[in-house]
Amino acid sequence: TTLSIEGMFKYFRKRFASHLTERSRRRARLVSKDGRCNIEFGNVEEQSRFVFLVDIWTTILDLRWRYKMTIFISAFLGSWFLFGLLWYVVAYIHKDLPEFSPSINHTPCVENINGLTSAFLFSLETQVTIGYGFRCVTEQCATAIFLLIFQSILGVIINSFMCGAILAKISRSKKRAKTITFSKNAVISKRGGKLCLLIRVANLRKSLLIGSHIYGKLLKTTITPEGETIILDQVNIDFVVDAGNENLFFISPLTIYHVIDRTSPFFHMSVETILQQDFELVVFLDGTVEATSATCQVRTSYIPEEVLWGYRFAPIVSKTKEGKYRVDFHNFSKTVEVETPHCAFCLYNEKDAKAKAKRGYDNPGFILSEVNETSDTKM
């Protein structure tokens, strides 16, 4: 009983350790499955941080909605309250307030400002051009007229900037990228007699991406002949479909593939060693949104655990009885196991061997030994 309990503890400890290892490995990726880049910048100089304020428009657009709405509300409330204080100061200096007991013939700079609250209300009405008609500026004070003009101009600038930022945030092409989806896994199998890495991508909208272009980057750690270690070294990965990798007719899901030839970084990998590799395959899809003519980029990534060797994607497009084409997204990421060479090197060696056999090549290692014939016989 004691041995069985110890064996159980060892089993669970091993499973837990492997789970932690797999979890930490899955987290160590530069690009998440939804396209977000997992990177942070440390020890940035103060001068570099000031550059973000210089490019305030891009900074505002990149902010999250909760921060953007906080700035939006704070900008309006702050300007209303600031000008409310200024209107109160004008009324105080001109002695328009009730505590100064103005005479009946006294003409105030602003009618019906009796304190800080009424000054704030007049500031709000002025900046948003409500115009209730109860409080108004008179021609008595040039300071009040100048302040009215300045607040009106500044209010238009704040309205234009904040409303434009919100509109630009809503219409950004990043939202269009949410309707482009990649398969959960990449697969490696034979296609057209060649060993290929295949990925499926689909457009969930009927509107097209114009001028689409697909390409990939393989991120890995390499060591140069000089001994320099390069982290996140980038290697170009060419992806194509049957009609090329540019100007795709992206109306139905496409299966893009990368041919694993002798120039491919996957050439020296096999079904036994691919899980031992440390790489991240990042796939990009660039295009122009048909509705807005804005450029759009979609990206995702695959780590070795998400590359299935010896599988292909299940069929997804069929034709109905009414003559329409139907896309079944239930099979979008579904894979089917197929017979596949366990490495690209073996496939090409097999092809070379078959080609030589067809040409009738002799085995150069075969040597014919001659036998000396004699007339002696034994009876």
Q: pLDDT confidence of 19, banded at 50, 70, 90?
A: low
pTM of the model: 0.67
Residue 377: what pLDDT? 43
Alpha-carbon distance 278 to 219, whole Å? 9
- Asked whether residue 3 is domain-assigned, the answer is no
Is residue 154 located within the same domain as residue 68?
yes
Minimum mean pLDDT among 110-114, 145-149, 173-177, 262-266: which range?
A: 173-177
Low-confidence winner among 14-18, 99-103, 251-255 (lowest mean pLDDT):
14-18
Question: Which whole number is the average pLDDT over 204-227?
Answer: 83
Does one domain contain both 208 and 345? yes
Domain match, 231 and 133 both: no
Amino acid, res. 149: I
CA distance 349 to 345: 6
Based on the fold, state whether residues 288 and 188 are members of the same structural domain.
yes
Q: What angle do CA 133, 139, 144 make, to 5 degrees?
A: 80
- Side-chain half-sphere exposure of 232, counting CA atoms within 13 A: 7
Residue 214 or 54, more confident? 214
CATH number, domain with residue 162? 1.10.287.70
Helix (H) or strand (E) run with residue 186 in it = strand 186-191
- Tell me the C-alpha distance between 162 and 78, whole Å: 14
Structural domain range at position 197? 176-357
Residues 166 and 212 placed together within one structural domain of the fold: no
pLDDT (average), residues 266-273 = 88
**157 and 270 assigned to the same domain:** no
Counting Cβ atoms within 10 Å, is residue 159 exposed (0-12), middle (13-18) or buried (19+)?
Answer: middle
Cβ(58)–Cβ(134) under 8 Å? no
Does residue 142 carry a pLDDT above 70?
yes
Total tally of structural domains belonging to the chain = 2
Tell me, yes or no, whether 136 and 190 share the same domain: no
d(Cα 116, Cα 92) in Å, to the nearest integer? 10
- Domain membership of residue 47 (yes or no) is no
Please check whether residue 337 is in contact with residue 187, taking contact to mean a CB–CB distance below 8 angstroms.
no
Q: Under a CB-based contact definition with an 8 Å cutoff, are residues 177 and 297 in contact?
A: yes
Residue 323 host element (H or E): none
